[in-house]
Amino acid sequence: MAVLNYRRWLTATFINMAFLPMAIAQILPLDCENAKNFVEKTTCSNPKLNELDSQLFDELEQAAQQTKVPAQMLELTQQSWIKSRNQCKNTACIEQTYQKRLMEIKNLNTTDQEFVHYFIRVKDKQPDPDLALLQLQMLDEKRVRVLAQTFWSSNDQKHHQSTDFSGYANQAKKITVKDLDSGCTLKLRQHQTQWRIWQDSPLCGNKNLRFSGTYELQK
């Protein structure tokens, strides 16, 4: 596991949940007549990037039709993705960011949502400003795949980081699960529609990126 490590996320199809409703600026393709920053202007002036933006919007439209995927989850992750994308300083970075996002949404659109439950970390009964997500994929009657991702933004919103977690465990109300790549270990406990996560391992993210907290089921 590493900061901005998307490798497993492309196959996990986690961070991109469906998104209706969402702010107009976030669900429409770029408005090239009113491009505001370097990334938007570069995307609009580059035919390949412009096509990627259109493809991404098409996939997001398809994802919006999936009623079993929580709207709030994709709205928040889309906001985080835009912030991350806007950090790019060159064309190669922009293209890579779009390609990863596009693959994630495509994977989401082919995932069987009947056996997936989504959770978001809450603080004072609201989504935590430092976004953190939990996904439980029921593999069969006994096994579950645990996916988690946490985000961080600096106070000036100029720096953004994310890190992810993937592990397997037996289904239970109390779970201890380990990320086989990083060695990060999380402890989970269920209480009604919530899961509480404890992070004991120093191998999980960094001082800014923490998984610990209370996660509320998204419907």
Length of the chain: 219
- % of residues, the chain, pLDDT over 70: 86
Model pLDDT, residue 164: 87
What pLDDT, in 10s, does the model give residues 157-171? 677 778 889 999 999
pLDDT band for position 77 (50/70/90)? confident
Residue (of 112, 4, 6, 102) closest to 58 by Cα position: 102
pLDDT-derived band at 3, boundaries 50, 70, 90: very low
Burial of 9: CB neighbours in 10 Å, binned 0-12, 13-18, 19+: buried
Whole-angstrom Cα distance, residue 162 to residue 188? Answer: 20
Give the whole-angstrom CA distance, residue 81 versus residue 23: 14
3-state secondary structure of 12: helix
The domain limits of the chain are 7-109, 113-217
| 67 contacts: CB under 8 Å, gap ≥ 6 | none
pLDDT at 67: 66
What integer is the mean pLDDT of 116-143?
Answer: 92
Q: Selecting from 2.40.128, 1.10.3470, 2.130.10, 3.90.1570, what CATH number does the domain 113-217 have?
A: 2.40.128
Under 8 Å between Cβ of 13 and 63: no
Summarised one tens digit per residue, pLDDT across range 37-66 is 999 999 999 999 999 999 999 988 888 777
Distances (CA, A) of 75 to 18, 112, 185, 198: 8, 20, 28, 26
From the list 108, 93, 114, the residue with the least C-alpha distance to 38 is 93
Q: Provide the pLDDT confidence category of residue 18 given band limits of 50, 70 and 90.
A: very low
Predicted pLDDT at 14: 47
Kindly state the average pLDDT of the residues 120-134.
Answer: 92
Average pLDDT, the chain: 83
**pLDDT at position 26:** 52
Backbone φ and ψ for 109, nearest 5 degrees, come out as -70, -15
